[in-house]
Structure 1
Amino acid sequence: MFGSCWKPGASGDQALDRIVELSPDMFLWLGDNIYGDTTDMTAMRASYESKKQTASYERFLRAEIPVLATWDDHDYGENNQGRYYTRRAESQQEFARHFDLPADDPRRRHQEGVYNARLFPARNGSASVHVILLDGRYHRSPTFNQYGACEGNASSFLGSEQWDWLMRELRRPADIKIIASGIQVLPPLHGKRALKDYCAYADGREFQRAIAALEETDLSGTEYESWAEFPLERERLLRAVQASVNAGNAKQVIFVSGDQHWAEIMRKDIPATDNQAPVTVYEVTASGFNQNWPYEVPDPNRLP
């Protein structure tokens, strides 16, 4: 099971109690696990502690459901922030403290970012499952110039070390790979915004090429944050997944995401290249525990 965007409140309590009742093998926290929105680490810790003192979360902890987690902007630091957030290292330690990561966990020591993975071997005839949780905050280039200096074609979503790590993970064989992202992957770009406003636009040639390479012509995706704001990085991710499937390292890849305050299931057919067969991937968004935007946002990749 998985979820995101948690604030104290009645419906969130009901959701946590239902999770405890169902007793899943694993729960994935997909980000906005609290709403800290601060550069003050005393305040950040207080937000985490307030969550731990909520009765429904105490019941969740007592149930000892195994947990894996990543973060999004509101528990990372501030709204829509990336690598220019000034307290990212300190915030990572608060994340590690909240989720009781062991002292020798790389996220407590040398690793910059909270990305992590776990491979669950097949047992009793079940499929092997590889869960990969990305950190789309710590190394992310600005989306728009109010978040830092634009980096054009050099814009990165994951940073070089995390990309190298992800490539290694994608080479590990498993029947099913579940890739968790704090924000959505499969919705296409929100084309109603002036394209030159995107920090990744540069002169537009590579930006437009990456969109065309994925054969997307309906640019009516979410106007909120998504991987589509970085077309080169999104193409890189989807092509890496495509190569992993074609190499026999996965039978199916499913993205899971949060952030948007609604739930949906998406499908994307990654087109063939000269040396890669086409691959179909899916994404399931679950957001939020007790928050809902009561209006429809277009998404041509959404399944009915």
Structure 2
Amino acid sequence: MPTSTSTLLGSPDEHHSRQVTTLAFGSCHNRRLLEKYHAETGDTKSIWKSVAEQRPDAWLWTGDAVYLPKRKGVGSVQSLVDEYNEMLYIRNEQTASEPLTLQYGEVVKYVVPLGAFGTWDDHDYGANDRGNDMPQREPRRDAFLDFLDVPQDSPRRHREGVYNSITFGEGDKKVKVIFLDTRWHRDSHLIPSLASSKIPLGSVLACLTRWFSAAQLPERQKDYDGTVLGEEQWQWLERQVEDSDASVNVIVSSIQVFTTNPAVESWGHFEKERDRFVRTIQDLPGLVILSGDVHHAELLGAGPILEVTSSGMTHSCTGPFYGVLCEHILDSFNTHRKQSDFPSGSNGYYTDKNFGTLKIDWHSKTPTFTVNVHDHSGKIVLSTVRALSNSSKLSEMEIQRIPKLAEDHNIPTFQIATTISLVASLLLIVLMIWMRRALQVRLLYTAKRKYT
């Protein structure tokens, strides 16, 4: 049974005395796409069955546990509640009778002994790319905490955000997981995102404006004072790090920390915040950062600090939106990437549907943890091993040398291409708006003629 802890800033929100050896994690889960995949392919093995086969002690959400039916604008709180309830619905009370069709509700109830924990990202927050300008943040928080079965009397119910921490195990076999909230307090990007607007291709335009600011405005980007966490969460994080006595420290950020890809949301768009983050966490032993959001899996980091992204449980960056450009973009921005220890020859990323596991070997002479990325069927496609004793310390000079967004591409050709792409997209959007309005006028004219 979990134990409630002190409300002091440095204390975990929840402690489980059970020793853990396997934690599974994932992000970007759209149940409609999962249902569509099974219907179209005839593949009866759910990705949740593959998760269950890893026999995890707990499940960690790294963001986007649900997607709303309405992709434009801001989703209602009730629509979030409806999605969470669908996720938790138990379709198969006797899990042994149809083991291949396991879904999230059955896995959390029957398979994972310690349950599910996590943080949100933009889609389970309610709108693409949104931050501190989101309306109705408190009821959205409450709906998410209900989804995770957080007690009604928990101090988290009164917190500005869903950031939290949990510890597993005792003594020198303790694991601490710190979940950050990169939405509640986050300021707009240097050029505010239009992804949640009703403008056609708003998500594409948001990617291009992020790309443009990194390529054309690097000095302004470097000096930008926007926040990711907000000062209250910063103080909480600093105390969580200072008071940690865990041998393994897992930090969950829904957005990537060290990527150099300028198109995606990341800490790199808030460079001062990212550097503060590194300075804050670098002394933790057994450190690994888990992230999501980008619809591909990746091994990345800065110096000895390891980050593992698992994203796209139900969809991939090679589908609509990025499409055929996905792998080309990933190959172009790679200075942040680490190589996989297994399988050999891996390029350090994986673009199909995936989830992750963190496996801890407490009993070897030199205790280690292994982070694996698994494909839909459970096969390992990326893997990296770290000794718990490895230092993650960076010098101030090394922090300053962490690769910046688009750093290898800040050349005239790249800048010109970025500008042309942005202008072309704006012209395309204007054309689409004009065509839509022209069609509306034509339909109205036709209707008037019909009734006159």
Per the TM superposition, whether the score is higher than 0.5 is yes
1:22 CA drift (Å): 2.3
- The 5 Å alignment of 1:1-304 reads 1-8=24-31, 9-10=34-35, 14-36=46-68, 38-53=74-89, 55=91, 56-63=103-110, 65=112, 66-108=115-157, 110-122=158-170, 127-147=173-193, 153-171=224-242, 172-188=244-260, 221-242=261-282, 245=283, 250-269=284-303, 280-294=304-318, 295-296=326-327, 297=330, 298-304=333-339
- Structure 1 stretches of 5 or more lacking a match? 189-220, 270-279
- What's the TM-score once normalised by structure 1's chain length? 0.77
1:73-101 CA distances to partner (integer Å, 9 max, x unpaired)? 00012100000011211110110111111
More deviation in 3-12 or 81-90? Answer: 3-12
CA distance in 2, matches of 1:187, 1:145: 19
CA distance in 2, matches of 1:139, 1:107: 16
Look up the equivalent residue of 1:288 and give its one-letter code: G
3-state DSSP of counterpart to 2:289: strand
3-state DSSP of counterpart to 2:141: helix
Look up the equivalent residue of 2:78 and give its one-letter code: T
1:119 CA drift (Å): 2.0
CA distance in 2, matches of 1:83, 1:58: 31
1:231 CA drift (Å): 0.1
> Is the CA contact (8 Å cut-off) linking 1:20 and 1:59 kept in structure 2?
no
Runs of 4+ in 1 over 6 A off after TM superposition: none
RMSD: 2.3
1:241 CA drift (Å): 1.5
1:39 CA drift (Å): 3.8
> Is the CA contact (8 Å cut-off) linking 1:141 and 1:157 kept in structure 2?
yes
Residue 218 of structure 1: aligned partner:
none
3-state DSSP of counterpart to 1:165: helix
3-state DSSP of counterpart to 1:142: coil
1:252 CA drift (Å): 2.7
> Is the CA contact (8 Å cut-off) linking 1:82 and 1:137 kept in structure 2?
yes
> Is the CA contact (8 Å cut-off) linking 1:130 and 1:176 kept in structure 2?
yes
1:233 CA drift (Å): 0.1
- Structure 2 stretches of 5 or more lacking a match? 1-23, 39-44, 92-102, 195-219, 319-325, 340-452
1:222 CA drift (Å): 4.4
**Comparing both structures, which one devotes a greater share of its residues to helix?**
2
- What's the TM-score once normalised by structure 2's chain length? 0.52
3-state DSSP of counterpart to 1:260: coil
1:290 CA drift (Å): 1.3
> Is the CA contact (8 Å cut-off) linking 2:131 and 2:186 kept in structure 1?
yes
Number of residue pairs aligned between Structure 1 and Structure 2: 252
1:62 CA drift (Å): 2.5
1:50 CA drift (Å): 2.2
> Is the CA contact (8 Å cut-off) linking 2:64 and 2:293 kept in structure 1?
yes
1:145 CA drift (Å): 4.2
3-state DSSP of counterpart to 1:84: coil
Percent of pairs with identical residues:
33
